[in-house]
Amino acid sequence: MTSRSLHPDTVAVHAGREDLTDLGVHAPPIDLSSTNPLPDIETGGSAYETLASGGYPEGTAVYARLWNPTVARFETGLARLEHAEAAVAFSSGMAALTAAVLATTRETGRRHVVAVRPLYGGTDYLLASDLLGVETTFCEGTSAAVAAAIRRDTALVVLETPANPTLDLVDIRSVVMAADGVPVLVDNTFATPVLQNPLKFGAAMVLHSATKYLGGHGDVVAGVIACDEERAAALRRVRAVTGALLHPLGAYLLHRGLATLPVRVRTQQANARAVAAWLADHPDVARLYYPTDDHPLIGRQMDGTGAMLSIELRGGYDQAARLTSAVQVFTHAVSLGGVDSLIQHPAALTHRPVAPEARPDAALVRLSIGLENPTDLITDLDRALSVNGHVHPPLTAIRSRIPDLQT
């Protein structure tokens, strides 16, 4: 059976493992070789040229900076989940984004990028700087705004949906049409392949900070881009030259993480819905950032509301600082998507380098909801928020209004 005939949950478990029976093993092997034997000079030279040009190994893998079989297994698994011809893994999400910009500008000879705000702070800062030799126009995520930003020398459109940290949802198909042939890269980190497949809506590349949900356990840093084979070859060329290949041990952990990705994401989403329902009525919460079921893109583009949410506190920065310090079940740390729940202040941390006009409000706190019991998460937030002077109604008083808390 092909991946197209299998449920995504099945693909997550089996993709990239098709040859294990022939190898006589059950768990994927880890190849930690930094260099590989060369049968002869001609074979080695030809293989080196092929790999450095973005191709696949022929006769020998030559050197680990060019290609690694453990990394390739993870790439196969992610590509299948994103319905892509190929995927290319990198040492971090920022390395993946850098490669996408460099490969696209090199192939097209164009030096202009359109970026839809809000974005992850690192992405925003990199595109706003002159480090990659590109000029970036930032705009809102409407088709009209994107169309107005496109120029004759535009090489790439970059967007993130749901957006970090406000969870704004962007209509991918609408942006692709507005881009009028300019390739669109979608950061799919928050949604994951379980809830959204941007290639289905016309995106050219799908980027993941694999550090987050794909790995899911906070023990690996990586990035990956899913796309067609032609773009993948260009990305591999950049990766080979810049040395941004993912370490094989990280690739092994990520490949293992894919098997449980659907189960983790759906449970985390259910927990987030419970936490969001509780926060929506809290007197200290001025605004809750979390997609609602009646949003036109939920069910049409994104299969669920996800497990990320943000809140704007009435007490501003001071209250945000007290909350993040007072939690005990949540961990005060950057990153997201792991099995444990995290809380952080974007303006002070992940979005600190962003231009002031695009920086999140100082009262905004971002929560990544994990696999803990949602009642424990709510109790932790309730206790931490009560430090700020408000006492929310006890859980018993609101349990009947939140179905996810019934058990």
Looking at the annotation, which residues are catalytic?
A: 65, 120, 187, 212
Distance from C-alpha of 291 to C-alpha of 284, rounded to nearest angstrom: 20
Residues facing 226 on adjacent strands: 87, 206
Query: Tokens representing 394?
Result: 């006890």
- Distance (Å, whole) CA 301 – CA 364: 26
Cβ-based burial of 362 (10 A; exposed 0-12, middle 13-18, buried ≥19): middle
CA-to-CA distance for 320 and 315, rounded, in angstroms?
A: 7
- Residue 183: name the closest of 151, 200, 158, 208 by CA: 158
Neighbours of 10 (CB within 10 A): 13
Q: Is the peptide bond before 29 cis (omega within 30 degrees of 0)?
A: no
Taking the C-alpha atoms of residue 20 and residue 14, their distance in angstroms, rounded to an integer, is 10
